[in-house]
C-alpha cells in the first residue's frame, strides 16, 4: 500500500480532479493535509509520495526522488501567496511579520526576498495559524498561502499593501518559482515502482485534461466549494504552472542557492534527482 500526501489547497486540484481514485485505491491510500504537515509526514516516513513544499525537498534531498514533470510553480504572480502589510515592503525593517504555519517554501521565500532584495535584516518573525485578524493583531504584516490567501485577498485587504511573492521573486530574479514538488521516498520507489508509476500517470493525465478543458469543469466544482466565480478560478489555474521543466528546475536551484547562502538550508542543494520512469534517476544540475 502506498501512502499518498494530498495538499488540501485548490492549487493542486488539477492533479487530483480527474484521478481514478477507485482504481488507485487498490494500492494507494490518500492522506489530505496542509503542506507543512505533509512535509513532516514525508520526513518521518509516514507518507511515501505526494506534493510537499519545495523547501522540504531541499532539506531532505538525499532521501527523496522527484516525480517527473509535476509541480506547482509560477512565472511571475502566483495568485495565492500574499504578504498583507500595513507598511510598504520597503519600510518593513524593524517590524514584525506573522507567518502561516502551513508553509515551508513561502515563509523562506519571504525571508530571502526581504533580506537579499530589500536588505531588511531586523525583522521579527512569528509562526502562527493562518487567521488573518489574529495575525495582524500584534504584527505589522502577515503571510498567507493557498486558499487562506485567496479568501483573505477577497475579504480583507482594504488599506493594506498586498504583495504577491511569485511576482516579487520574478521581479528580482527573472526566474520562475516552484512552490511544491511531487516527491517520493527512495525506499518507496524501490519497493513500489508500479504503484508509483500509476499515480504519476494519473496525476499527469488529470492535469493535462484539466488544462485542455481550460479548467472549466474544474472551476465549476471549485466555485461550489470555495465561492468566487468561474472565470476567476480558470484564470488562477492558467496562471499557475503545473509542469516541471528545465526552466522551473533552474529557478528552484537558484532558490536553493539563496536559501543556503542565507543559512536556511544546511546544504547547498546543487542537484535535483528526478525519476526518469523506466530509465532510472536523472540528476539535474
Ligand X SMILES: C=C(O[C@@H]1C=C(C(=O)O)C=C[C@H]1O)C(=O)O
- Residues at the interface with ligand X (CB under 6 A): 7, 9, 11-12, 35, 53, 72, 78, 80-81, 103-106, 145-146, 179-180
Compute the distance between CA of residue 111 and CA of residue 164 in angstroms, rounded to an integer.
Answer: 14
Closest approach of Cβ 279 to ligand X, in Å?
Answer: 28
- Phi-psi map region of 128: left, alpha, beta (phi>0 left; psi -120 to 50 alpha): beta
Closest approach of Cβ 122 to ligand X, in Å?
Answer: 23
- Report the residue number, 23 or 129, with the smaller CB distance to ligand X: 129
Burial class (CB in 10 A: 0-12, 13-18, 19+), 194: exposed
Closest approach of Cβ 178 to ligand X, in Å?
Answer: 9
CA-only gyration radius of the chain, Å? 18
> Which candidate, 266, 272, 212, places its Cα nearest to that of 238?
212
Q: How is the chain split among helix, strand and coil, in percent rounded to 5? A: 45, 25, 30
- Report the residue number, 100 or 188, with the smaller CB distance to ligand X: 100
Cα 115 to Cα 111, 118, 256, 285: the distances in Å are: 6, 6, 15, 25
Is-contact 82 165, C-beta < 8 A? yes
- Report the residue number, 182 or 192, with the smaller CB distance to ligand X: 182
Compute the distance between CA of residue 90 and CA of residue 113 in angstroms, rounded to an integer.
Answer: 11
- Report the residue number, 85 or 105, with the smaller CB distance to ligand X: 105
Closest approach of Cβ 70 to ligand X, in Å?
Answer: 12
Q: Which residue has the cell 521579527?
A: 124
The full length of the chain comes to 285
Kindly give the interhelix angle for 230-239 and 216-226, rounded to the nearest 10 degrees: 120
- Report the residue number, 180 or 195, with the smaller CB distance to ligand X: 180
**Grid cell listed for 233:** 478560478
What stretch of H or E contains 128?
Answer: strand 124-128
Closest approach of Cβ 86 to ligand X, in Å?
Answer: 22
- Report the residue number, 34 or 274, with the smaller CB distance to ligand X: 34
* Alpha carbons within 13 A on the beta-carbon side of 21: 9
Closest approach of Cβ 237 to ligand X, in Å?
Answer: 11
Closest approach of Cβ 167 to ligand X, in Å?
Answer: 12
Closest approach of Cβ 110 to ligand X, in Å?
Answer: 9
- Report the residue number, 247 or 277, with the smaller CB distance to ligand X: 247
- Report the residue number, 40 or 91, with the smaller CB distance to ligand X: 40
Amino acid at each position: 500500500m502506498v501512502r499518498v500526501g494530498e495538499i488540501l489547497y485548490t492549487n493542486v486540484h488539477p492533479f487530483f480532479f480527474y484521478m481514478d481514485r477507485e482504481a488507485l485505491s487498490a494500492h494507494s491510500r490518500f492522506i489530505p493535509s496542509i503542506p507543512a504537515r505533509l512535509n513532516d509526514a514525508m520526513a518521518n516516513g509516514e507518507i511515501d509520495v505526494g506534493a510537499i513544499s519545495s523547501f522540504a525537498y531541499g532539506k531532505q534531498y538525499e532521501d527523496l526522488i522527484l516525480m517527473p514533470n509535476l509541480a506547482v510553480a509560477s512565472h511571475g504572480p502566483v495568485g495565492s501567496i500574499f504578504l498583507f502589510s500595513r507598511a510598504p515592503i520597503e519600510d518593513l525593517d524593524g517590524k514584525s511579520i506573522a507567518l502561516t504555519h502551513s508553509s515551508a517554501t513561502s515563509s523562506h521565500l519571504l525571508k530571502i526576498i526581504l533580506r537579499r532584495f530589500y536588505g531588511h535584516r531586523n525583522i521579527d518573525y512569528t509562526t502562527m495559524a493562518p487567521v488573518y485578524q489574529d495575525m495582524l493583531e500584534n504584527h505589522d504584516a502577515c503571510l498567507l498561502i493557498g486558499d487562506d490567501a485567496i479568501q483573505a485577498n477577497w475579504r480583507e485587504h482594504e488599506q493594506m499593501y498586498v504583495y504577491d511573492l511569485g511576482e516579487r521573486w520574478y521581479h528580482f530574479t527573472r526566474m520562475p518559482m516552484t512552490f511544491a514538488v511531487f516527491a517520493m521516498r527512495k525506499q518507496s520507489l524501490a519497493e513500489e515502482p508500479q504503484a508509483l508509476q500509476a499515480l504519476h500517470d494519473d496525476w499527469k493525465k488529470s492535469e493535462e485534461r484539466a488544462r485542455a478543458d481550460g479548467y472549466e469543469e474544474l472551476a465549476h466544482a471549485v466555485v461550489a466549494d470555495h465561492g468566487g466565480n468561474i472565470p476567476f478560478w480558470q484564470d488562477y489555474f492558467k496562471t499557475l504552472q503545473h509542469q516541471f521543466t528545465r526552466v522551473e528546475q533552474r529557478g528552484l536551484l537558484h532558490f536553493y542557492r539563496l536559501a543556503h547562502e542565507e543559512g536556511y538550508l544546511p546544504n547547498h542543494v546543487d542537484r535535483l534527482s528526478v525519476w526518469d520512469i523506466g530509465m532510472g534517476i536523472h540528476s539535474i544540475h
